[in-house]
A and B are shown apart, each in its own frame.
Chain A
């Protein structure tokens, strides 16, 4: 059972396998498939689910279609779960990948219900407008009994208060990790990130390849709301990023974790799951330190949703119900390193002695410092300043 992941390690260096995952730029397809089993190899306790172990609480809806087309972030679900789903329920699963919410939305809105995709995984903040633009189909909740297994705190979020269109796939936050050999001072805040980037870590800094999260470094450091629409704050952010910050950036990298842990960067803005993968892959993890920076930071949540005009709605519901099953949700969490928000995940993780639990689960006090942000009139401005920062950095 563990053979396949080992082979993939030989085929592609770890650094690359991770360049092609969630929100990556290039076509993750081929390389992504090859590197699929990597995380499984990292988690000694991981176990591929068998059809027989599936929860009996899931009624088999019929008639189920023979296909399921998923439009997903690359490497975002355990391939073993996909296989198990097909053998238990029948539909062959076809997965296409996208690298940004914008890309997925553009495709769905251009197709006007004929995209051919059944399932999409939008981030929470994008959902209200997607519903308004008729890009999503309402759930038939009678086909989703496992909705009851999701942590209450993750239900009824502001973007979809009744969960009629979406349900949490997993969630995470944004922080940074640094090399303690390069940065010796204590690091706690986003201002510390900026100071270190401008001094001892200059030229060895990576930031996320995502417009809002580049500008957010400034907003968070200054204590502004990171989805601000105040003109003066946006102007100040652009001035800071282009004139004072861009020249210190080494790369715009959404998956810097492993590279950082191999000495490729000294300071990286990253998502918690990626930081964890970096630490798991590192030979001397004590050298690198993860920081959940103050005063504020992000809480992002990706959600299962059914695309408008889905041709295989029964299969789509069956998949969502399948993946919300606590056993499968736990398996998927081990694969991505992000909390799938199923009740009991934390206890199971403790029992299974997973490493770096503080990078998957957060305390209520920590969660209180996280904002989900929103998509508003500032979006195009953020993209513009991101493009300028990129041009200036080069």
Chain B
């Protein structure tokens, strides 16, 4: 980490050396934050925020269903169905989507058969393909902590809530979600942080249109061999991720305080 920080102030002396630090400057940051590259950082955040949100919207109902509705004896089967693809090599899993999404691939065939889409499928090498890829790749990281949290939740609490007159929705928002919030936070962080730095999905599915910051950093280190610029980009990415986490973290904390404060007021009035 410290090396990356140190290198980011260096420069690339010539083709045969990847880094020199005898002269330190902020020049690489200026370049990394310039309009052209910043556009990619913003695109990355858009993909990772949307991806995290989609993972949550798919992962939460699934984890809830798995831990509440599915009888315990059958749960291992569903967990295995999630985990086994997850054990497969990341790259191979992602390449699999290229085959599925190919212009004349399986999806194109199904859509054509259903009469939904008649021309060649043009999903590959777009932002959409990357979005789909990251949701698929990171979904297990969302489901597992949510499942663990929901599984440990005493079903009696939901029943008590029901007995006390709360409807399903109210039970969900007032009882279940607050109690599993550590699992939710873990899931969101586990998905958002690695997803923001992902470069494989963007490389395999994104073409030129679905570029992500991780890919850009990879290029600087391994193709351009410009470690200084790559390091500066990595630091910018870390700062952006930290900023997003802090932003949503503080919203959550402030939100919780407001809710508590209002509850206290309600209680005081009721008393």
Contacts and interface: CB of A to CB of B under 8 A. Distances in A.
B37 A388 contact: yes
> Which one of A105, A133, A387 has the greatest number of beta carbons of chain B within 10 Å?
A387
Contacts of B229: 387
Interface string A46-79: 0000000000000000000000000000000000
B128 interface: no
Contact of A103 (B95, B210, B225): B225
A353 B216 CA distance: 44
Contacts of A99: 222-223
A251 B125 contact: yes
Nearest to B213: A391
A391 B17 contact: no
Interface stretch (B143-151, B170-178, B201-209, B260-268): B201-209
Nearest to A109: B16
- Among B18, B43, B219, chain A packs the most CB atoms within 10 A around the CB of B219
Given A387-B219, A390-B216, A106 B225 contact: yes
Contacts of A129: 15-16
A106 B125 CA distance: 30
Contact of B203 (A26, A109, A388): A26
**Which of B37, B102, B204, B208 has the most A CB atoms < 10 Å from its CB?**
B208
Contacts of B185: none
Contact of A263 (B98, B103, B216, B224): B103
Contact of A391 (B103, B207, B210, B216): B216
B91 A252 contact: no
B15 A250 contact: no
A174 B102 CA distance: 27
B127 to A, nearest CB: 8
Contacts of B36: 242, 388, 391-392
A26 B219 CA distance: 11
A86 interface: no
A27 B124 CA distance: 21
Contacts of B206: 394
B40 interface: yes
Nearest to B124: A264
B252 to A, nearest CB: 31
Contact-residue size bin, chain A (C-beta under 8 Å from the other chain): 35 or more
A25 B15 contact: no
A249 B206 CA distance: 12
A249 B223 CA distance: 19
A41 interface: no
A13 B225 contact: no
Contacts of B224: 102, 211, 383-384, 386-387
Nearest to B18: A106
Interface residues of B, number: 41
Nearest to B39: A391
B226 interface: yes
Contacts of B12: 380
Contacts of A102: 15, 223-225
Contacts, number: 107
A100 interface: yes
A16 B95 CA distance: 8
B104 interface: yes
A373 to B, nearest CB: 14
B8 interface: no
A212 to B, nearest CB: 12
A16 B209 contact: no
A391 B16 contact: no
Contacts of B211: 390-391, 393-394
A375 B16 CA distance: 11
Interface string B70-99: 000000000000000000000100010011
Contact of A393 (B124, B203, B208, B212): B208
Interface string B222-265: 11111001000000000000000000000000000000000000
Interface string A249-265: 11111000000001110
A394 B15 contact: no
Interface in B191-221: 200, 203-204, 206-212, 216, 219-220
Interface in A239-255: 242, 246, 249-253
Given A102-B224, A102-B225, A262-B104, A394 B210 contact: yes
Interface of B: 12, 14-18, 31, 36-37, 39-40, 43, 91, 95, 98-99, 102-104, 120, 124-125, 200, 203-204, 206-212, 216, 219-220, 222-226, 229
Given A15-B98, A16-B95, A380-B12, 15 more contacts: A13-B99, A13-B102, A15-B102, A25-B203, A109-B16, A109-B17, A129-B15, A129-B16, A263-B103, A383-B226, A387-B219, A390-B211, A391-B36, A393-B209, A394-B40
Closest 8 CB pairs between A and B?
A394-B211, A251-B207, A393-B208, A383-B224, A391-B40, A249-B208, A388-B36, A102-B225
16 contacts: A99-B222, A102-B223, A102-B225, A103-B225, A106-B225, A129-B15, A252-B207, A252-B208, A264-B103, A375-B15, A379-B15, A380-B14, A383-B224, A387-B219, A387-B229, A394-B209
Interface of A: 13, 15-16, 25-27, 31, 99-100, 102-103, 105-106, 109-110, 129, 133, 209, 211, 242, 246, 249-253, 262-264, 375, 379-380, 383-384, 386-388, 390-394
